[in-house]
Amino acid sequence: MGAGARTLPGDRRLTGGFAGTGVLLVALGAAVWGTDTVLRAPLSAALAPVLLVLGEHLVLALYAVPAVLRGWRELLVMNAARWGALLFVGWGGSAVATILFTTGLFGAFKAGGGSVNTVLLLQQTQPLFAIAAAAVVLGERLTVLYTPIFAVATIGAYLLAFGDLEGGLLAPFTQVGRARLEFALAALGAAALWGTSTAMGRYLGGRLSFQTLTGARFLVALPLLLVWAAVAFPDVVGSFAAGLAEPQVARNLVLLALFPGLLGLLLYYRGLRSTPASYATLAELAYPATGVTLNWVLLGQPLTVAQGVGVALVIGAIVAMNRVKSGVRERRSRSTHVSQGD
C-alpha cells in the first residue's frame, strides 16, 4: 500500500444500497443465457462436452484477445489475490463448471431413472454457494429484507425446474436414491463453481472494466480447455473437425458463443459491478425462466401451470430486488479503497 489511496471508479462496494439498474442488467444477461438450451441441445449430439466448450471459447477468443490487449493496463496492476480470483473465474466458472454440468445433464438424461431430476435439483444449490462465497470474499451480510426475496426466488426456481414432472413436485426427492452418484456430483460441482464465481466476479469488478473482465475470463479458460481436449481426444483436431462437418453445427456453435456466451456475459458483468453478489445470484434465475419459456415457444414443450407460477415468482423477486435497497450490506475494507500500487 503506497500513499495516495484512491477509490476505483468501478469499485462500488456498498454499505446500504446499490444502483437498481445493476440487478436488471444481471437479470437481462441471465435471460440472454436462457437461449443457450435451444442452441446447445442440437450441438450435444455432434460434439463431446469438452469439445463443445472448447469450440465456444475458440470463437470467443476473437473478442477476448482484443479486449485483453485494450485493457492490459488494468490487468498489469492487479495484485496476487485478484489474479487468483481471475484464474478461478476462468478455469472454474468458464471451463470446468460448464463441462461438469453438460456432462452431468446429458449423462443423466441417457441413464434415466431420476438422474436428470437429481442433477437439476442439485443445480438449485448455486445461490447457497454464492451467498457463502460473498460473505467470505466480499464481507456481504444479509439483512431481514433479503430473506423473503430469497424464499420467493427459490420457490420460483424449484417450480421452473420440476413443475412439469408426472410424479409431482416432490418427485426429485423420491428419485434421489435412484440417481447415479457421478452425475449428482458433477451437478453439485458445477453449482459450487458457478456460485463462487459470482462472488469472484463481483470482487474483480472493482478493478477491471466489464469488457476486460469478460475477455480475460474467456482467454484464461482457453489453455486449460486445449490441454483437457488434447488429453481426452488424442486426435483432437480430427475429432473437432468431424463434429463440425455439418454446416448447421458450425453455425449453431458460433451463435451459441456470440449470443448467450458473449452478449449475456457482457451484460452480466456490467450489472455485477453495482450489484451485491447475493442479489446477483438470484437475478441469475432469469436464466431458467427464459429457458423454460423459450422451450415452450420454440421447441413446443408445454409450459405447465406450476412453471408459469415459477416464472411469475422469479420475475417478481427480481423486481423486488431492484426496488429494495437495503437487503445486503458489504463491509468497507481494503478492497474498497485500493492504492495505486495494488
Task: Show the 3-state SS of the chain.
Answer: CCCCCEECCCCCCCCCCCCHHHHHHHHHHHHHHCCHHHHHHHHHCCCCHHHHHHHHHHHHHHHHHHHHHHCHHHHHCCCHHHHHHHHHHHHHHHHHHHHHHHHHHHHHHHHCCCHHHHHHHHHCCHHHHHHHHHHHHCCEEECCCHHHHHHHHHHHHHHHHHCCCCCCCCHHHHHHHHCCHHHHHHHHHHHHHHHHHHHHHHHHCCCCCHHHHHHHHHHHHHHHHHHHHHHHCCCHHHHHHHHCCCHHHHHHHHHHHHHHHHHHHHHHHHHHCCCCHHHHHHHCCHHHHHHHHHHHHHCCCCCCHHHHHHHHHHHHHHHHHHHCCCCEEECCCCCCEECCCC
Name the residue type at position 299: L
Q: Residue 338: what pLDDT?
A: 37
**So what's the pLDDT on residue 214?**
97
Strand partners, 7: 337
Q: How far apart are the first and last CA of the chain?
A: 7
The per-residue pLDDT for 86 is 97
C-alpha cell at 212: 476486460
pLDDT, averaged in runs of 10, over the chain (342 residues): 34 44 87 78 82 94 96 94 96 93 72 57 78 89 84 86 64 57 79 93 92 96 96 89 87 92 93 88 82 72 80 87 67 41 40
| pLDDT given at position 330 | 61
Q: Helices 236-243 and 210-232 meet at what angle, rounded to 10?
A: 110
- Asked whether the beta carbons of 70 and 203 are under 8 A apart, the reply is no
C-alpha 258/C-alpha 251 separation (Å) is 11
State the pLDDT at residue 182: 72
Whether the model clears a pTM of 0.85, i.e. scores above it, the answer is: no
